[in-house]
Amino acid sequence: MKKQIFILSLIIWCLSSALVCANVPLMPVEDIVPGMRGIAKTVIEGDTIEEFNIEVLGVIGNDAMGHNILIKASGDVIDRSGGIAQGMSGSPVYINGRLAGAVAFGKAFTDPKYCFLTPIGRMLDLLNEPAPRPSEFLPKNTPLMAGGFTESGVRYLSEKLEPFGLKATGVGGSGSFSSTQPLQPGSAVGVSLMRGDIQLGALGTVTWVGDDGEILAFGHPFMQRGDSCYFMNKAWILASLPNLESAYKVGNIGETIGTITQDRSAGIAGKIGQGPPVVPVYVSVTDGARGINNSSRVEVIDDEVLLPAMLDAVAYNTVAKTMDREGGGTARFSFRIDGRGDVSGPINVQRENMYYAAAGIGKLINQELVEAGTILTQNKFEKVDIYGVNINIVLDDKAEVAEIISAAVREKEAAPGDTVHIDVQLQPYRAPKVTKTVLFKIPKEQREGKLPLTVRGGSSLAWIQNLLRKQREEGVPAQQKDNRKTLNDFIKSINEADQNNDLIVDIAAGQGAPNAAMQSGGGFASMLEGSPMKQKTTMNFIVDGTTDIVIDVVK
């Protein structure tokens, strides 16, 4: 009997312990007045929750725009941390045993012991998906810890994150230590966008934990994306480092323990349990000159806006790690993206190309990958679920480039439907000239007479492609309405686009083409797409330059 009573008492104690977080009494902002004192909870080393003292200095704001509470912090924890540090955001503040709000680091004070709190009432509204208010706390450039990134990889990542108001630092990230303690108010918590061999995320503090595993944290937005789907992670704090601008916590982001579902002005909200949907990404990079291979296997959050930038950053970082040098060279780049569209069904984007640059080859090769990712995730036709991305890159420090010098047709004349031989003379970089023979089939509908052809390299129009890409990014109107009507049309244009190492023979634009499309004059777009009679031969080097030839067509 005593044993049964003991077990029952133990169960009741466990249940009461689990409910204490959610059942803590709250203090409305209306009850808070200057001079009140309380305590706040946070972690500045490992996963041990410690307390520091706070004093309320005043309340500002109104019911329409929301209130904020100005406090001054003090105590041994604040002295050791260098003041209110980045990463303390979300630290719960209790006054007379009642939860009043969360530290919301963000306002710049000369004295780091001062900060504002976000009232707990505003944070609890996150669980009901409120209409967002503008944030007063989070400045632009939220620091993200980039684990597994090279120095140049961090710089490149910061460039890509700048439009989202984020910046990356190479301090912290992934590590071997992670907390084994359950989340509770004051615990360190990680929010991440990427996990695996490379990790990207931020640290904050848990404010409140609900009975069903819901949590509130940060006290300010992460990116203020509203409905969100980020990784929620365990965290281990290595140290809080003083800094001239502001102190900041450095730590390891550990295992995924749930999903962050709300990211709004008052903070972030999520639920412990199942993690968010992910996009698996695998990158393999080989430096042929050194015989070195590196790979990165990561999972990225399934975010339509962030995914293209994340793919770009992962690929670049793996290249930077493998090359271990700044400079140019030749790259053979291929990628495959698999997914499923709501309308189109199974989707496959598969692309190969070659690139050369005298300097900065790593920044050049990802353009088509980013463009394909953007089309799939941000197209206007249908939602696409991406199942996986595979990227393969082979680098060499040589210039594998050749320029077209001349071209000649062997046959003096040919009939519609005949196949002719075209000998193309090329000048490789610092090597003897070579001649390559390509075939061209004359259209069966071709009229009798002179047929002008253009022989060109796949990279000879790269400057036009880059110009059009830049114009699209800047919103410059196209010269002609895009004829692509479905997502599959865009995917086809990616899969069938010219490669820089293609040797291309095509009917000269507007010169005797047997189809109306070529006669309509579509400007740059038609130049890039070419005629339906365009024929390509893939070389093992980049082909540049262009020349014209004429075939006599006889009946």
For residue 355, the SS3 value is strand
Closest listed residue to residue 241, CA positions, set 87, 108, 76, 102:
87
Read off the tokens for 504: 């291309």
Amino acid at 285: V
pLDDT of residue 131: 47
For residue 67, the SS3 value is strand
Rounded Cα gap, residues 531 and 514, in angstroms: 10
Percent of the chain with pLDDT over 70: 83
> 128-134 contacts: CB < 8 A, separation 24 or more?
129/227, 129/262, 130/264, 132/224, 132/226, 132/264, 132/265, 133/65, 133/66, 133/264, 133/265, 133/266, 134/265
Asked if residue 252 belongs to a domain, the reply is no
Asked if residue 510 belongs to a domain, the reply is yes
Asked if residue 321 belongs to a domain, the reply is yes
Asked if residue 184 belongs to a domain, the reply is no
Is 299:386 a contact under the CB 8 Å cutoff? no
Of residues 65 and 512, more confidently modeled: 65
For residue 466, the SS3 value is helix
Rounded Cα gap, residues 265 and 545, in angstroms: 54
Q: Residues of 84-96 as b/e, b for ≥16 C-beta within 10 angstroms?
A: bbbbbbbbbbbbe
Which of 396, 411, 439 is the C-terminal boundary of a domain?
A: 396
Is 284:334 a contact under the CB 8 Å cutoff? no
Is 112:82 a contact under the CB 8 Å cutoff? yes
Q: At what angle do helices 462-474 and 367-378 cross, to 10 degrees?
A: 40
Phi, psi for residue 439 in degrees, rounded to 5: -105, 150
Rounded Cα gap, residues 118 and 123, in angstroms: 7
175-192 average pLDDT score = 85
427 and 533, same domain (yes or no) = yes
Q: How many domains does the chain have?
A: 3
291 and 367, same domain (yes or no) = yes
What are the CA-CA distances from residue 521 to residues 411, 479, 517, 529 (Å)?
30, 10, 8, 12
Determine how many CB atoms are found less than 10 A away from the CB of residue 533.
Answer: 19
pLDDT of residue 174: 59
534 and 407, same domain (yes or no) = yes
363 and 454, same domain (yes or no) = no
549 and 416, same domain (yes or no) = yes
Is 347:384 a contact under the CB 8 Å cutoff? yes
Which of 380, 396, 412 is the C-terminal boundary of a domain?
A: 396
433 and 520, same domain (yes or no) = yes
User: CA geometry: angle at 500 spanning 495 and 505, to 5°?
Assistant: 85
pLDDT of residue 132: 47
105-118 average pLDDT score = 78
Asked if residue 55 belongs to a domain, the reply is yes
Distance from the Cα of residue 452 to its chain's centroid: 46
Amino acid at 542: I
Closest listed residue to residue 100, CA positions, set 113, 119, 127, 84:
119
350 and 412, same domain (yes or no) = no
Phi, psi for residue 181 in degrees, rounded to 5: -85, 145
365 and 413, same domain (yes or no) = no
Asked if residue 108 belongs to a domain, the reply is yes
80 and 105, same domain (yes or no) = yes
344-356 average pLDDT score = 95
288 and 352, same domain (yes or no) = yes
Rounded Cα gap, residues 333 and 311, in angstroms: 14
291-301 average pLDDT score = 96
pLDDT of residue 533: 87
* CATH classification of the domain holding 107: 2.40.10.10
What mean pLDDT value characterizes the chain?
Answer: 85
Closest listed residue to residue 115, CA positions, set 247, 226, 263, 215:
247
Rounded Cα gap, residues 509 and 511, in angstroms: 6
For residue 369, the SS3 value is helix
Range of the domain at 318: 278-396
Determine how many CB atoms are found less than 10 A away from the CB of residue 377.
Answer: 21
384 and 451, same domain (yes or no) = no
Is 268:341 a contact under the CB 8 Å cutoff? no
Rounded Cα gap, residues 69 and 56, in angstroms: 7
Asked if residue 305 belongs to a domain, the reply is yes
Which of 60, 94, 128 is the C-terminal boundary of a domain?
A: 128
pLDDT of residue 42: 96
pLDDT of residue 469: 58
- Going 513 to 517 to 521 to 522, the CA torsion angle's sign is negative
Hunting for tokens 């490149």 — which residue is that? Answer: 156
Asked if residue 163 belongs to a domain, the reply is no
Q: 188-192, 372-376, 479-483 — which is least confidently predicted? A: 479-483
pLDDT class for 522, splitting at 50, 70, 90? very low
List, in order, residues 6 or more apart from 535 with CB less than 8 Å away.
Answer: 438, 439, 440, 441, 504, 505, 506
Rounded Cα gap, residues 424 and 446, in angstroms: 23
The answer on pLDDT for 516 being more than 60 is: no
Bridge partners, residue 195, by sequence:
299
The answer on pLDDT for 12 being more than 50 is: no
Rounded Cα gap, residues 449 and 431, in angstroms: 39
The answer on pLDDT for 2 being more than 90 is: no
For residue 182, the SS3 value is coil
The answer on pLDDT for 275 being more than 90 is: yes
Using CB atoms within 10 Å of the CB of residue 555, give its burial: 0 to 12 exposed, 13 to 18 middle, 19+ buried.
exposed
Hunting for tokens 């466990």 — which residue is that? Answer: 14
355 and 303, same domain (yes or no) = yes
Read off the tokens for 231: 């990784």
187-215 average pLDDT score = 94
Is 236:43 a contact under the CB 8 Å cutoff? no
Parallel, antiparallel, or unpaired for β 449-457 and 546-553? antiparallel
